[in-house]
Amino acid sequence: MAAVSVGFVLPYTATAQATEINSQAEYAFVTDFMSGKVLMEKQADAPMKPASMAKIMTIYIAFQRIKDGSLTLDDTFLISEKAWRKGGSKTFVEVGKQVSVRDLLYGVIIQSGNDAAIAIAEGISGTEEAFAEEMNYVARNLSLSNTVFKNSTGWPDPEQITTARDLNILTTALIRNFPVDEFPDLYPIFQIQNFTYNGIKQGNRNPLVYGTQGADGLKTGHTEESGYGLVGSAQREGQRVIMVLNGMASMKQRSSESRRLMDLMFREFKLYKLYDKDET
């Protein structure tokens, strides 16, 4: 594919700053995927708790194993008692059962299942603690300079920390490194609206996939210490926007604010192809 040069038309002035857009979120970092242009930021490098948005790294590592051929969607992992007993959001996997990587990924991505995330972690690294070490190794390789993972789920831990910028970098890497044309069974899972496992049907936690134009991912998070957060992505007319929000007060606020900001980004920032590679 030929490389392109891109430009932005900003409202009223070519020197408009990303911080001019306000948000109810305590933390925000929004970028254009192709160029990396920062469209909006608010406390982008302030430490915050990732909650279930940490599962994006769990998913990234599983995708990487599938990409390098050491894992397939049809492989199965044994469900431990630790995974089965884990509280919070669940896929309702059963202890002692063998569950396919495909079902576990659906459980993590769509249902935000803590049990499914732990099963993936243990299946790949033997223990969740060892998997957390791999999460941090990958984080360093991706230059997530202000992130520390302590578990596969985002479960509260005093040492677990990230930033809105780091989650944006991780999400950008996930979309770039596992393109849909090469891996049609991976990233598209994020936009599926519901998944039934063990006879229990659960809807996607991401409000963007219910009617926001072009939305195709990714992940929500919530704990008392983090508030309500969302990592979202949408693509319209060849332009993709990556959005990280956190620290909102309710599910309702998360839903309305993420929809509002995503639509605003596409209204106010446009990509233009100026010339092809090597063209004078």
Mind telling me the catalytic residues? 52, 55, 112
Nearest to 53 by CA among 131, 140, 141, 170: 170
Contact criterion met (CB below 8 Å) for 30 and 42: no
Q: From CA 246, how far away is CA 268, in angstroms rounded? A: 22
Q: From CA 109, how far away is CA 103, in angstroms rounded? A: 10
Tokens of 136: 């941090």
- Bond prior to 218 in cis (omega within 30° of 0): yes
With helix as H, strand as E and coil as C, how does 11-78 read? CCCCCCCHHHCCCCCCEEEEEECCCCCEEEEECCCCCECCHHHHHHHHHHHHHHHHHHCCCCCCCEEE
Q: From CA 90, how far away is CA 249, in angstroms rounded? A: 23
Contact criterion met (CB below 8 Å) for 257 and 81: no
As a residue count, the chain comes to 280
Max CA pair span of the chain: 64
Tokens of 47: 């430490």
